[in-house]
Amino acid sequence: QPCWREYLTTRIEQNMVVNCTCPISECRAQPTTAFIYSIVSSEEIIAKYEKALLRRYVECCSNLTWCTNPQGCDQILLKDGLGYGAACSKCSWISCFNCNFPEAHYPASCSHMSRMTCAKCNHGFCWRCLKPWRPNHKDYYNCSAMVSKAAWQEKRFQDYNERCTFHHHAREFAISLRNSISSIREMPKIRNLTFVLDACKVLEQARKVLAYSCVYSYYNQDNESMDIVEQQTESLELLTNAL
């Protein structure tokens, strides 16, 4: 029993307990959940084991997924019950379930989000093939493994990228402002600040739409309807700046 306990504990700590087999090389028998519970007594190790079972269950169910909030959220979401714009009931993060981008990115399409940049080292890469964006993907709308039609000037990309980055930073400011107001609201003798919090939420959402509008506009300049889109975006940006 001590040998089994050490073996199973090690497997659980290394996230290798699911589908593990008997340590005897010629034996392919798998320990059951009831057996593991009877051998392992540590509550901490059992908790890790149960998390591993839950992860495996979610991975096996095509209609289940984890919330994609990069700040961390352990909420399990049902894809079939979420339409576009539906938020996580725990953290309110809005995910995209049609591509691997972690956030809903309207009005930019999923194909627009193929180019990714690491937030830590700024390494640019293609989400489809995971290869570096430069030099093969530098001037192309899609991954070189797909149909590549249009070449885009580097200066134009930089302009849209700077605008997109600005709106993302402005969105972070709106979030920070809302958090600060929330803490002030808890202080005694402070009047109701609900309307200010609501304004911050609207500001946050507007900055998000403006950021992804830059992506949308960058990839759709040849579209005949882009004049209207640009006018609407400019109007939204003016009103957002005023707010």
> How far apart are the C-alpha atoms of 86 and 88, rounded to whole Å?
7
At 210 the pLDDT is: 92
- State residue 65 phi and psi, 5-degree precision: -160, 165
| Greatest mean pLDDT range, 37-51, 108-122, 185-199 | 37-51
Domain boundaries along the sequence of the chain: 1-57, 61-104, 114-242
Q: pTM, whole model, 2 decimals?
A: 0.48
pLDDT tens string 122-165: 666 665 566 666 666 544 344 544 433 344 456 677 778 888 88
SS3 state of residue 97: coil
> How far apart are the C-alpha atoms of 157 and 34, rounded to whole Å?
58
> How far apart are the C-alpha atoms of 31 and 193, rounded to whole Å?
57
How many alpha carbons lie under 13 Å from residue 72 in its C-beta half-sphere? 0
pLDDT tens string 51-69: 888 888 887 877 788 887 8
Sign of the four-CA dihedral 220, 224, 225, 231: positive
Higher pLDDT, 39 or 157: 39
For tokens 């399990």, the residue is: 76
Distances 170 to 6, 74, 130 between C-alpha atoms, Å: 51, 27, 29
At 206 the pLDDT is: 93
Cα 146 off chain centre by: 24
Residue 210's CB is within 10 A of a number of other CB atoms, namely 21
> How far apart are the C-alpha atoms of 219 and 148, rounded to whole Å?
12
Sign of the four-CA dihedral 151, 153, 156, 158: positive
At 203 the pLDDT is: 93
Query: Rounded to the nearest 5 degrees, what angle is found at the Cα of 117, between the Cα atoms of 225 and 220?
Result: 10
Please provide the average confidence, as pLDDT, over all residues in the chain: 77
